[in-house]
Amino acid sequence: MLDLIESETAPAADLIAWAMETYRDRFAISTGFQKEGMAIVDMAWRVSRSVRVFTLDTGRLPGQTQRMIEIVGERYGIDVERVRPDAEEVQRMTARHGTDLFRDSVESRQLCCEIRKVRPLDRKLGEFDAWATGLRRDQSPERAGVPKLERLDGRVKLNPLADWTAAQVEEYTRRHDVPMHPLYARGFASIGCEPCTRALLAGETGRAGRWWWEVEGRKECGIHFAPDGAVRRAPRGEDA
């Protein structure tokens, strides 16, 4: 088993190769098809053509993200696994709070993310012993301490690009001609659900285009960090 100290000095490609060899089909890549996730998919594909990739299909994704699912299949031959929320939970939530409840308050937005992203992810992770994400330390203050390897709830979570800069991601993307999400060309820097993501305005950086109407709260959906910033998080379990 690779330990935490060894993982911090291991190159990203080596970490991915180790996880794929160790966990085989019990390892997967979780991605929303942003540059980081696509770089990880490309690295893994170079190790094995049978890598598993899944995405959280919230029901509110932009059409460009849906197209990326097709592009990954065309380029890499990977059948992306779509992870959808429980339809009854979504129906109860929207009946009680409205379709666009995320506009009402930070708490309502977190509830929407909980139903559409956090709970579906928790259910999907039951299929795996390890998974990888595209988190990087310089993406936001909340992510500054992200390790390259974590052990959460009995599983290994890899963040192989944690110590990469945006420039390194760009260089890898160019060098390997990695497919790029179309919304980057329209000024997006972080891509999520369609109603909750916009292009950056002049002077904005990082995740400013996510939930831009919020004046308080962290720019996280809950799948990586709790509302209080803790790395470990537990489902809220409240009635939707």
* Residue 236 pLDDT grade (very low, low, confident, very high; cuts 50, 70, 90): very low
pLDDT at 87 over 90: yes
Alpha-carbon torsion, ordered 181, 184, 188, 192, to 10 deg: 0
pLDDT at 88 over 80: yes
Domains recognised in the chain with CATH numbers: 4-180 (3.40.50.620)
Q: How far apart are CA 183 and CA 191, in angstroms?
A: 8
Tokens of 175: 């060098």
Report pLDDT for 1.
59
CB contact burial 121-159 (16+ within 10 A = b; e otherwise): beebbeebbbbbbbbbbebbebbeebbbbbeeeebbbbb
* Residue 7 pLDDT grade (very low, low, confident, very high; cuts 50, 70, 90): confident
pLDDT at 231 over 60: no
Closest by alpha carbon to 167, among 136, 210, 133, 202? 136
pLDDT digits (tens, 9 = 90+) for 148-170: 999 988 999 999 999 999 999 99
Q: How far apart are CA 95 and CA 98, in angstroms?
A: 6
Report pLDDT for 225.
57
pLDDT at 233 over 70: no
Tokens of 34: 């942003």
Close Cβ partners of 174 (under 8 Å, ≥ 6 residues apart): none
Report pLDDT for 227.
47
List residues with catalytic annotation.
221
What does pTM read for this prediction?
A: 0.89
Report pLDDT for 123.
96
HEC string of 215-228 equals: CCCCCCCCCCCCCC
Give the mean pLDDT of 193-206: 93
pLDDT digits (tens, 9 = 90+) for 105-137: 999 999 999 999 999 999 999 999 999 999 999
pLDDT digits (tens, 9 = 90+) for 203-229: 998 888 999 998 766 777 777 755 444
pLDDT at 78 over 70: yes
Closest by alpha carbon to 102, among 92, 113, 89, 91? 113
Percent of the chain beyond pLDDT 90? Answer: 78
